[in-house]
Structure 1
Amino acid sequence: MLVNNYFLQNWPFPDERSRLKFVAEGLPTWHCCQYPTSLNDRVVVASRFTVMLFLVDDLLEHMSLQDGSSYNERLISIVRGEVLPAEDSPIEKMVLEIWQQMRAIDKTLSDDVEAPTFEFWRSQNAEARLAKKSIAEYLEYRELDVASQLLLALQRFSQGINVTKEELASVSEIELNYTHHISVINDILSWDKEYRASKDINAEGSIVSNIVQVLANETGLDYDGSKRVLWTMCREWERNHADLVAKRLEEGCSGSLKEYLEGIELQMCGNELWSRTTFRYNAPNLK
């Protein structure tokens, strides 16, 4: 309720139906599923941060790529302290307030969230979103668009985990495997919502960019058949994750790195749990 009330009191929802839809989607529960071991003093602000990302993403659906790019670049400038929020923009004020709250808790780990957030915001409006891609090209594109490095940095912030650059480099293969898994799980389970949006919203920001479409185009399978193939791929990435982690643990690692690897697995589980149950993806009449 703390997170929901914060947005209900401050975010400029256009009407009462939008406010009810926001509550029904259960966006704050995403953070609890994704990061179940978040520290008590960080869970509220980190959840506000992720809800803010969801709501900004919803705004971009109704914009051209150029307008969306300008919008996100302004948010980046605000977070960097280059410009102040506009007096008449509650969204800009909230974005800055959330960042300031995170910095007050842990400046070092919140700073680590900045760069991947900016990369994510820029990827949302990149021309590459519209380009036709092979499966391999799409997975590479999604490394930015699914914000995997942002999610991993937010995990470290939420759990208060400090690991060295060398330790992170040593698990890059595990992180890449995780990225493929969460991006494809997200694509499978959000496909119906994205497909409906592409039909209902006449804007570049709503154009479908989803591996279900990519696989269907490449193989001639229908969308349901493509989903079944993709589910099999996800289960193989899970097996691969277990093998990669076991190998890395055999080499020896710090307690912090082990905790980080455990958190990555929890993310993979939580992402699927939330995506399977949220009304955001699973209530077609919730508009």
Structure 2
Amino acid sequence: MEYRFSYLMDPSNYRTDGLCDGIAVRNHRNAAVGDLGIIRLHKEWGEYIGPPPTSASCGGLGPQYGFTSVALPECLPERLEIVSYAIEFAFIHDDMVDPPGETDAKSSSGGKLMQSRMVQQMMVMDPKTTTSLMRCWAKYLKYGGGNRQRTNFEDFEDYVEHRIMDCGSWFLTGLALFTMGLVVQEEEEEICHKLTRPVWGAASLTNDLQSWDKEYKIAQAHDNHELRNAIGWLIKQHSISTETAKQRCCQKIKAFVAEFVQTLEYNKVRQDISQPVRTFVEAVQYMLSGNLIWGWQCPRYNPDCEPNQLQLATMKALGYPFSSPPQLLHRLNDPCVVLRRDLPTLRKAFIDGPSHYIDSQSSKGIRGKTIDAISFWLQVPGQDLAVIKNICRLLHGASLMLDDIEDSSNLRRGQVSIHTVFGCAQTINSAGYRVNEALKEVSKLDSPECTRIFHEIIEEMENLYIGQSYDLFWTFSLTCPSMEEYMKMVDYKTAGLFRMVSRLMQAMSTSKTKPDLTNLMTLLGRYFQIRDDYLNITSIDYTQQKGFCEDLDEGKYSLMLIHTMQTQPEKNILLRNILAQRRKKGKVSDAHKRIVLEQLKQSGSMDFTLVALRKLQAEIGKEAKLVAQDRGIKSPLESLLGVLEV
């Protein structure tokens, strides 16, 4: 499966105790969004039901890793908050029925209302996978899930089988399908649950292991000798010490993990199950490893652990509905905090959130392929090439983040634009931070020419902003530029990044001869921009990803529009008035867009633009062949140009 929304974590940063050998740990790029779902759940629980039990002080939060972000790291970003909300609901519900007690009318009606609203929200997002989740929830209840009354078991295996059903495995099966939008047939839900049985066995015993100390203290305080926990059962059944019981529990966990590692290997090659089921099986491995590392540091099992500063700030901003440990309440009411110097470092979750979101969106990777092609000529070492690609990624992403705000674009690559999720201010701040990170990356390139290249990068970045300023001015003032002005704007705004990257690669090249690629990069920039504008108007794929003729909503002057307005002056009044209406209403109606399209066709501007693109492509190919001939190497851009051909 393709990992779009998460990153691999460094094993030196988390504890496993050998309980997930062979399974990596991933973390969601938008982990802070998951925390919001947990905090919102507690706030609404207090409003509709009442104070949650003390044991639910922080639920699925963790000062380092939240449960949802590491257990379901490939959750679709727009579903992360509601998924965390649902899991937190399950956590508190679990705490309220263990030990069992009476439920008052407010709790019952409030809980049903919250569940109903939660399901409705999920249905709006994805009715198919929500229906699947509801079926899985019904199976959880049918097979005895949540049954806290049973305390007698024939042996340890009988207890484990009970825990696999009792731990919410069916609910989590349905939820995992929902998180990734995986649509399976009803009979395939059984297959999903069966194939991942070792995950639920390991996870449930891991929970027993990590919660034992807390549960034992609570049981002692209430003189309760019927602990429903694997450690307690082993101690009582076999008259063994706590340490020995924990060791046996760990052995069983390791056996489950080893079994599932084999399942994962077979899953890579088997063809007798559908692709969604195979994707599910691969994804659920992180439920095993994520649950483990979350449990070692979560306040749910470790009462002395506290939420991190980011979580505390969010709680406070929303009214702080959590049950708080005494030491935490003391800190929140201590005015001496203004004198402290040993303050914790601020995490980068807020500033990285918009960046992670843009990086997680699918991309054809054309710029990366261009860099690979040029490297074929310049022979840039792999380590330096990776740094240059990262610089390109950071700057291009920052440009897109700002573009969408400046153009009032609500869609990017078929998903909602970043500023509609994080807000304009945070997105602008994050984009600026990306530029700073890109400049820091330059320092990793060890070359005597890099000081000069650094200044050239600054120059190209200046060009980018100047070019964008013209684009914005023309849009705001309804001023149609000349074709020459438009092309120069493209050279500044779009081609600058290509030239910047080629200069960095030349500086790091190990080749004896280094061709001048300035003209070639400028032509590529022109081709990319004009091609993008052309497809925005004519391509069905672009319509699905960004909306119907979105450039018209933004009020942009493309080569097609400029050609029509310059060669057919009589159409100026019609087109200018449509663009003027756009500025008043914020968009162009579909009916008006069809009028513009008809004018573009009648004036021959679409054909003109297509011919211009083919001329550009031919010139790029010619320029590339000249460079290739000088080096005696075939042009590496030929295949790339074939992919880009309109």
TM-score, structure 2 normalization: 0.37
Task: Name the SS of the counterpart of 2:183 in structure 1.
Answer: coil
2:237 maps to 218
Q: Following superposition of structure 1 onto structure 2, how do residues 1-287 of structure 1 map, counting pairs within 5 Å?
A: 1-12=35-46, 22-23=57-58, 26=61, 29-61=66-98, 63-64=100-101, 67=102, 89-118=109-138, 120=140, 123-127=145-149, 129-165=150-186, 167-168=188-189, 170=191, 173-201=194-222, 207-252=226-271, 253-283=273-303, 286=325
Between stretches 182-191 and 246-255, larger displacement belongs to: 246-255
In 1, Cα distance between the equivalents of 2:270 and 2:249?
A: 32
2:424 maps to none
Taking a change above 3 Å as real, the CA distance of residues 179 and 18 of structure 1, as seen in their structure-2 partners, is closer
Kept after mapping to 1: 8 A contact 2:163/2:204: yes
Kept after mapping to 2: 8 A contact 1:177/1:237: yes
Shift of 1:143: 2.3
Kept after mapping to 2: 8 A contact 1:86/1:92: no
Between stretches 166-175 and 134-143, larger displacement belongs to: 166-175
Task: Name the SS of the counterpart of 1:236 in structure 2.
Answer: helix
Taking a change above 3 Å as real, the CA distance of residues 45 and 136 of structure 1, as seen in their structure-2 partners, is same
Amino acid at match of 2:87: T
Amino acid at match of 1:234: I
In 2, Cα distance between the equivalents of 1:17 and 1:268?
A: 26
Unaligned 5+ runs, structure 2:
1-34, 306-324, 327-646
Shift of 1:254: 4.1
Kept after mapping to 1: 8 A contact 2:196/2:281: no
Kept after mapping to 1: 8 A contact 2:53/2:92: no
Task: Name the SS of the counterpart of 1:11 in structure 2.
Answer: helix
In 1, Cα distance between the equivalents of 2:160 and 2:53?
A: 36
Amino acid at match of 1:137: D
In 2, Cα distance between the equivalents of 1:176 and 1:266?
A: 14
In 2, Cα distance between the equivalents of 1:111 and 1:225?
A: 44
Task: Name the SS of the counterpart of 2:78 in structure 1.
Answer: coil
Amino acid at match of 1:263: A
Amino acid at match of 1:42: R
Task: Name the SS of the counterpart of 1:234 in structure 2.
Answer: helix
Taking a change above 3 Å as real, the CA distance of residues 6 and 261 of structure 1, as seen in their structure-2 partners, is same
Kept after mapping to 1: 8 A contact 2:58/2:300: no
Kept after mapping to 1: 8 A contact 2:136/2:170: yes
In 2, Cα distance between the equivalents of 1:260 and 1:87?
A: 35
Q: Count residues with an aligned counterpart.
A: 266
Shift of 1:224: 1.8
In 1, Cα distance between the equivalents of 2:153 and 2:140?
A: 20
In 2, Cα distance between the equivalents of 1:89 and 1:173?
A: 34
- Bigger Rg, structure 1 or 2: 2
Deviations 1:108-139 (A, max 9, x none): 21222224434546532453x23244111111
2:379 maps to none
Instruction: Provide the identity percentage.
Output: 18
Between stretches 255-264 and 42-51, larger displacement belongs to: 255-264
Deviations 1:225-269 (A, max 9, x none): 111122122122212111122224332254323321111111111
Taking a change above 3 Å as real, the CA distance of residues 196 and 153 of structure 1, as seen in their structure-2 partners, is same
Shift of 1:50: 0.7
Kept after mapping to 2: 8 A contact 1:193/1:284: no
Kept after mapping to 2: 8 A contact 1:42/1:158: yes
In 2, Cα distance between the equivalents of 1:269 and 1:218?
A: 29
Between stretches 187-196 and 159-168, larger displacement belongs to: 159-168
Say what the alpha-carbon RMSD is for the aligned residues.
Answer: 3.3
In 2, Cα distance between the equivalents of 1:155 and 1:25?
A: 16
Taking a change above 3 Å as real, the CA distance of residues 218 and 125 of structure 1, as seen in their structure-2 partners, is closer
Kept after mapping to 2: 8 A contact 1:62/1:202: no
Shift of 1:105: 1.3
Shift of 1:25: 6.3
Higher helix content, 1 or 2: 1
In 1, Cα distance between the equivalents of 2:215 and 2:88?
A: 18
In 2, Cα distance between the equivalents of 1:87 and 1:124?
A: 17
2:419 maps to none
Taking a change above 3 Å as real, the CA distance of residues 97 and 202 of structure 1, as seen in their structure-2 partners, is farther
Taking a change above 3 Å as real, the CA distance of residues 37 and 25 of structure 1, as seen in their structure-2 partners, is closer
Task: Name the SS of the counterpart of 1:161 in structure 2.
Answer: coil
Unaligned 5+ runs, structure 1:
72-84
TM-score, structure 1 normalization: 0.78
Amino acid at match of 2:163: R
Higher relative contact order (CA 8 A, sep 6+): 1
